[in-house]
Amino acid sequence: MNSTTSQVLPKVALVGRPNVGKSRLFNRICGGRDAIVHDKPGVTRDVMARDVDGRFTLLDTGGIGLPEKDAPSKIVQAVEEQVFVAVESSDLILLVVDGREGVVPLDEEIAARLRKNARCPVHIVANKCDNERVSDSVHEFNRLGFGEAIPVSAEHRVGIGQLFKTIHSNIPEIRFVTEEAQEDRRIKITFVGKPNVGKSSITNRLLSSQRLIVSDVPGTTRDSIALDLNYPFPENRMGKFRLVDTAGLRPNSKVDSSVEYFSNLRTRRAIEESDVVFLLLDAMTGVTRQDKALAGEVLEAGRSLVLVVNKWDLAMEAFKKGGIEGFKNAKDFQRNYREAAEKELFFLPKSPFLFISAKTGFEVSSILGTGERIDHLQRMTLPTGRLNRTVHDLIDARPPKRMHGKPFKVFYVVQTGYRPFRFRLYCNRPEKFEDTYRRYLEAGIIESFDLEGSPIRFDLVGKE
Ligand code: GDP
Ligand code: GDP
């Protein structure tokens, strides 16, 4: 079997409030002008990334989301996003603080977030320790909860050697990811949903994950309509996806959204090309007619469907501020939302629901894993014996309505395809197979084999 091996360098992220000297330090660690600028497509413009000594990739998240003018509330939000990106992507986080100023409230805020969310080591780097007097005062930073701060001066090249030692002793080995050529298939995914539900925001949020390696699909130039995404899952396994139809998602190229016919056609084509479709719903508005139509279209096309409830931050915020009338808490609201949506979209094939926020990044990382799981499910071959027992049990439990004449009877079932699942039912009276009954059997098979999200086609063959 052909296979190629690629290296994944550990990632080290610099985080910290503005003006503590992150960019200065970044350049100092990279050794100045000679460093190779990582112009990897997909590494967001806002994140600087460079390989250092072929041993690790250094990220400066300081550029994410910063407002043009000083707006304190915006700065807090920007820092929040930076921390999110660092937490999602890094093997080591360096929290940079200003050694001269000591601990300020925003440092405490960042440290609190890191203590809560970081899954990798965090070290404090006290910059601007230009002289010994300042270096001696860095014990103050111990109270941020990450041990002794490392005093450095990016400006005067002080303490950089010690910093390198800390980095080297805290990063994991270089990982080698093996990709089997035989498994070169990419899972094609697409996001659909009404305007303003957050399609571009989610795409951008996904693309800002540093673990993700993004490349334009050859042949789709400029107004790119597909992107290849490689995502290393924890157990050294490379998840390979293709994001279909991104042209309409990019903020600066919202193509032809006014021409409804064109965009409908485009959506339909994207759905047909996909393996798994993510339908975005708005947490605060519930299911609309348009959502229902889109869900119907996805299932009619025979595609697996995942429901993504976006803007969940708004619901959580509302509960923080005193609640939403009629609901005990966010969990209660979530359960109700799901139940109401499932009632409205009664034809769903047990689709998973993800509650996420493109704005804060909450649960966004679950999207690709779910896509992979659902794609795997929809390609299964079900054992014929168990399939037959399941269908017969379902029919026994709830026989179809008896009109005049003989009752509906199924003799034998075989699977004839997948993606979507196709089952051929040999039965006595195919014309008796009503839509509600079809749905009953579909739901029963899905339940029994745990086939979340995949629609089922029945093909009835009559014989006496
Ligand atoms: P960032 O916003 O965290 O990326 O900070 P910058 O790298 O842009 O630095 C902010 C300011 O601090 C600039 O004026 C730098 O020249 C200054 N600065 C950075 N490192 C040092 C240092 O080690 N000592 C002193 N005295 N100033 C520094
Ligand atoms: P699209 O038309 O579906 O691509 O939607 P956009 O991604 O352009 O988002 C529409 C609006 O909703 C923008 O103002 C976003 O900032 C906002 N938005 C998107 N996702 C979220 C979210 O998770 N929470 C909140 N509060 N706003 C969001």
The answer to whether 432 is annotated as binding is: no
Fold classification of 7-176 (topology level):
Rossmann fold (3.40.50)
The alpha carbon of 198 and the centre of ligand 2 are apart by a number of angstroms equal to 4
- Which ligand gives the minimal distance to the CA of 201? 2
- Supply the pTM of this predicted model: 0.58
Residues in contact with 150: Cβ distance below 8 Å, sequence separation at least 6, in sequence order: 123, 124, 125, 126, 159, 162, 163, 166
| Residue 206, pLDDT score | 86
- Residue pair 435/413 in contact (Cβ under 8 Å)? The answer is no
The alpha carbon of 61 and the centre of ligand 2 are apart by a number of angstroms equal to 22
Structure tokens at 25: 């330090």
Atom of ligand 2 at shortest range from CA of 362? 23
The answer to whether 240 is annotated as binding is: no
d(CA 279, CA 199): 9
Given ligand 2 and candidates 74, 196, 245, 310, which is best to mutate, with the most ligand atoms within 8 Å of its CB? 196
Ligand 1, residues at Cβ distance < 6 Å? 16, 18-24, 62, 127-128, 130, 153-155
The alpha carbon of 121 and the centre of ligand 1 are apart by a number of angstroms equal to 24
Atom of ligand 1 at shortest range from CA of 20? 3
- Residue pair 129/151 in contact (Cβ under 8 Å)? The answer is yes
| Residue 463, pLDDT score | 62
- Which ligand gives the minimal distance to the CA of 153? 1
**ipTM for the complex?**
0.53
Please indicate whether residue 247, judged by its CB atom, sits closer than 6 Å to ligand 2: no
Q: Of all protein residues, whose CA lies closest to atom 26 belonging to ligand 1?
A: 128
- Which ligand gives the minimal distance to the CA of 135? 1
Each residue of 45-68: b (16+ CB within 10 Å) or e? ebbbbbbbeeebbbbbbbebbbee
| Residue 403, pLDDT score | 62
The answer to whether 313 is annotated as binding is: yes
Given ligand 1 and candidates 17, 19, 64, 106, which is best to mutate, with the most ligand atoms within 8 Å of its CB? 19
Atom of ligand 2 at shortest range from CA of 280? 3
Please indicate whether residue 257, judged by its CB atom, sits closer than 6 Å to ligand 2: no
CATH of 185-378, one of 3.30.420.10, 3.40.50.300, 3.30.70.120, 3.30.70.270: 3.40.50.300
The answer to whether 197 is annotated as binding is: yes
CA distances from 47 to 13, 17, 21, 40, 88 (A): 10, 15, 15, 11, 13
The alpha carbon of 352 and the centre of ligand 1 are apart by a number of angstroms equal to 47
| Residue 41, pLDDT score | 32
Domain boundaries, the chain: 7-176, 185-378, 384-462
Residues in contact with 330: Cβ distance below 8 Å, sequence separation at least 6, in sequence order: 315, 316, 319
CATH number of the 384-462 domain:
3.30.300.20
Q: Write down how long the chain is.
A: 464
CA distances from 91 to 57, 165, 204, 389, 430 (A): 10, 15, 22, 50, 59
Residues in contact with 283: Cβ distance below 8 Å, sequence separation at least 6, in sequence order: 309, 310, 311, 312, 314, 315, 337, 355
Atom of ligand 2 at shortest range from CA of 203? 7
CA distances from 411 to 395, 406, 429 (A): 11, 14, 11
Structure tokens at 350: 């047990």
The answer to whether 142 is annotated as binding is: no
Q: At what angle do helices 160-170 and 22-30 cross, to 10 degrees?
A: 80
Please indicate whether residue 308, judged by its CB atom, sits closer than 6 Å to ligand 2: no
Q: DSSP letter string over 391-453?
A: HHHHHHHSPPP--SSSPP-EEEEEEEETTTEEEEEEES-GGG--HHHHHHHHHHHHHHHT-TT
d(CA 313, CA 283): 9
Can you tell me whether residue 191 is helix, strand or coil?
strand
Residue with tokens 């460093």: 35
In tens digits, the chain (464 residues) has pLDDT values of 445 555 677 889 999 998 899 989 998 998 754 334 443 333 334 567 788 888 888 888 776 666 655 566 677 777 777 787 777 778 999 999 999 999 999 999 999 989 988 889 999 999 999 998 888 889 999 999 999 999 999 999 999 999 999 999 999 887 765 544 435 689 999 999 988 898 888 988 888 776 666 665 554 444 457 788 888 887 777 888 998 876 665 544 444 444 444 556 778 888 988 999 999 999 999 899 989 999 999 999 999 999 999 999 999 998 888 888 888 888 999 999 999 999 999 999 999 999 999 999 999 989 999 999 999 999 888 888 888 889 999 998 998 776 667 777 787 788 888 888 988 888 887 777 788 888 999 999 999 999 999 999 998 887 65
| Residue 238, pLDDT score | 83
Do 185-378 and 7-176 fall under one CATH topology?
yes
- Residue pair 442/349 in contact (Cβ under 8 Å)? The answer is yes
Q: For residue 299, how many other CB atoms are within 10 A of its CB?
A: 23
Q: How far is CA 301 from the centre of its chain?
A: 24
- Which ligand gives the minimal distance to the CA of 279? 2
CA distances from 369 to 364, 373, 414 (A): 10, 6, 30
Structure tokens at 126: 């006290």
Please indicate whether residue 205, judged by its CB atom, sits closer than 6 Å to ligand 2: no
Q: Which amino acid is at 293?
A: A
Q: Of all protein residues, whose CA lies closest to atom 10 belonging to ligand 2?
A: 196
The answer to whether 245 is annotated as binding is: yes
- Strand 175-180 versus strand 237-244 pairing type: unpaired
Atom of ligand 2 at shortest range from CA of 357? 23
Atom of ligand 2 at shortest range from CA of 356? 23
d(CA 244, CA 303): 14
| Residue 37, pLDDT score | 40
Atom of ligand 2 at shortest range from CA of 312? 23
Atom of ligand 1 at shortest range from CA of 158? 23
- Residue pair 230/368 in contact (Cβ under 8 Å)? The answer is no
Please indicate whether residue 290, judged by its CB atom, sits closer than 6 Å to ligand 2: no
- Which ligand gives the minimal distance to the CA of 254? 2
The answer to whether 252 is annotated as binding is: no
Nearest to 82 by CA among 95, 98, 91, 72: 95
